[in-house]
Amino acid sequence: MSGNIITIDGPSGAGKSTIARLVALRLGLRYLDTGAMYRALTLHCMLAGTHLDNPKEIAEAIKSADLSVELSLHGPMRVALGDNDVTEKIRTQEVTRNIHYVADVMEVRNYLVEMQRKIGEAGNLVTEGRDQGTFVFPNASLKVYMFATPEVRARRRHAELKARGTDTSYEEVLEDVSKRDYLDMGRELGGLKKALDAVELDTSELSPEDVAESIVKLAKNRLKMQTRKIDKNALEAARREDEERRKQK
């Protein structure tokens, strides 16, 4: 591995995607969207007519997947299956509903972890997920474990749903958040874990910009990295992309 790799792990709803993008923009690093890779393989299986309740069929289907990603210093990661750019297509509700079938198959995880590590060989990367610092990049230059209380994450999620006109109570959202935490922590593959050498960062009372700035300061102090001004268009693109993601959850 050459160059720096920063991993950001944490539970759902902690704002990892937005913050990882902001950190990458500030430090001039590439942003690896690992979730998009799982979505792409889910779409591949759907297009292939795979029975998604059959792990063996999924394992067989991904053998023919021609997945490629293009990372940029200035914009979102582009995702392609063969010659087809599927960056937008992987964000549909149908893909969202089916991703858990594919993500829990060992062959899928092995395929993508190998691909992620290959991308990481060039360094200069910010990546986020559940076990990026513990399993995928155990030798990362800087590891951050972000978290917020279930109550705070539920309030954020409830506000988003209410703004979109979804009639769901805060209590229902809180129950869903707690249930997802339990499932994520108990996953045999890619379960939510905190690396022993990760810096813990409570985002409960912080804005995404404040959290990103805290991580940037860590990188400057520990890794002697330099910051740069954020292009306003790139920043707005990051915010729009995050909003679209939240709509799919």
191 vs 54, which has greater pLDDT? 54
Three-state SS letters, the chain? CCCCEEEEECCCCCCHHHHHHHHHHHHCCEEEEHHHHHHHHHHHHHHCCCCCCCHHHHHHHHHHCCEEEECCCCCCCEEEECCEECCCHHHCHHHHHHHHHHHCCHHHHHHHHHHHHHHHCCCCEEEEECCHHHHHCCCCCEEEEEECCHHHHHHHHHHHHHHCCCCCCHHHHHHHHHHHHHHHHHCCCCCCCCCCCCEEEECCCCCHHHHHHHHHHHHHHHHCCCCCCCCHHHHHHHHHHHHHHHHHC
Give pLDDT tens digits for 137-173.
999 999 999 998 999 988 988 887 788 787 889 998 8
- pLDDT at 236 exceeding the cut of 80: no
Mean of pLDDT values over 229-234: 63
Q: What is the pTM of this model?
A: 0.84
Domains and CATH numbers, the chain: 5-248 (3.40.50.300)
Give pLDDT tens digits for 201-221.
999 888 888 999 999 999 999
Q: Report the mean per-residue pLDDT for the chain.
A: 87
Q: Return the pLDDT at 202.
A: 92
Q: Which of 9-18, 52-61, 100-109, 161-170 has the highest mean pLDDT?
A: 52-61
41 vs 167, which has greater pLDDT? 41
